[in-house]
Amino acid sequence: MQATLLLDDGTKLTGLAAGAPGVTVGELGVYSGHDAVYRLTDPASGGQICAFTQPAVGTWGVNTEHCETGSPWMRGLIAREITAAPSNWRSAENLDFFLRRGLITAISGIDTPELARYAAEKGIKNCAIAASAEFNGWDALLTQVKVYRYNDTFPAAVRTPMTHGSPKNAAAHVAVCDFGSSHILTRLLTSMRFRVTLLPPYDAPTIYQRGGFDALILPNGAGSPRSHPGITEVLRDLIAAGAPMLGFGLGFRFLLLAAGGKLRQMRGARRGAWFPVTDLQTGNTLYTWQSHALTPEEPLPDGLIVTHRNPADGSAEGFSLEGKPISAVHFLPCSDLRVGGTGEILSAFYHNALHRGGSHAG
């Protein structure tokens, strides 16, 4: 069946329908990684219709070990080709079946690298996929596309505290403000002998203030911190108290606003792998995973020290607060501790903010 991709400037691209039939609207994201299942099940993909720039997606099939949550969060998928017969001994099903089962509408036959270039040049933010042979409501759909905004209420977050890792011989007990964080961060922290408690996002800063934790980690997730001023206000109190905090992705943006910084919209979003970031302390360039469409306004407020920069455009990708055990990076932790500086960042946070500084919680 034929399908149509509608961009928010009115451009229509024709391809083949895949996944679940129907019409879906969302934010256009461009993803350069290979693993579609990881991206589909990452809560940070909430509200997005993601274009994969790889020549084919689904070649690995669906490996449940790569699922970051129990269900897909993406609103739609755009690909040049969706492989029907995956080649992976761990594959449980093909990608098209997974999309149908998760009610995710998709379109193939699109030149996704060209789409990525066009979207960056034109500043395309939203799009829609119409995978329906009889659809003709284009004017109404375009209006919906232009005004679309993700209702980010953290649907993948825990509702009550949930603890992972044994208290025996734990290096520290960290609280994670669960914006719908993926399983990667929890696995990494427990592998480094941290005891981890996921907290509901709206209650996390208040629960943390009651004590019992050594640090607060603000992970990645979907949406904008501008929609949640209450969380930002409580984080300001924690900053003033000198509580050890570390932010990734969305957590970076929350801490930046809480520390008095500002965010601006990027012309082209950064979503996917292999984004270069330079660690200003060591001079090393990291290749990172990122997922955001906002960037800090500079200069940063007094007391915020830029620790990482993107060498392509010079934008700030990390900061620390002078004299406080608080830091953040805009890129995401990777499942491999050696990639993207993940191991170094977590280790530095432990030694600088926790090991030498002791517990600041409560």
Nearest to 180 by CA among 322, 343, 70, 62: 70
pLDDT winner (highest mean) among 63-77, 80-94, 210-224, 248-262: 248-262
Nearest to 307 by CA among 299, 318, 315: 318
DSSP state, residue 259: T
Q: Specify the range with the lowest mean pLDDT, choosing from 94-108, 119-133, 171-185, 291-305.
A: 171-185
Nearest to 107 by CA among 143, 73, 135, 132: 132
Residue 301 neighbours by CB distance under 10 Å: 13
Q: What angle do CA 56, 274, 123 make, to 5 degrees?
A: 80
Strand-strand pairing, 76-78 and 48-52: parallel
Calculate helix-pair angle for 229-241, 250-258, nearest 10 degrees.
70
What's the pLDDT at 346? Answer: 86
Nearest to 303 by CA among 279, 327, 321: 321
Mean pLDDT for 43-52 is 88
Please give the Cα distance from 285 to 280 (Å, whole number): 9
Is the separation of the CB atoms in 18 and 96 below 8 Å? yes
Strand-strand pairing, 162-164 and 105-108: unpaired
| Reported confidence tier of residue 195, pLDDT bands at 50, 70, 90 | very high
pLDDT tens digit sequence for 151-191: 777 877 888 999 998 888 888 899 999 987 678 888 888 88
What's the pLDDT at 8? Answer: 95
Mean pLDDT for 321-337 is 86
| DSSP helix, strand, coil percent of the chain (3-state; round to 5) | 25, 30, 45
pLDDT exceeds cutoff 70 at 336 = no
Would you call 229 exposed, middle or buried from its count of C-beta atoms within 10 A (0-12, 13-18, 19+)? Answer: exposed
Mean pLDDT for 206-210 is 87
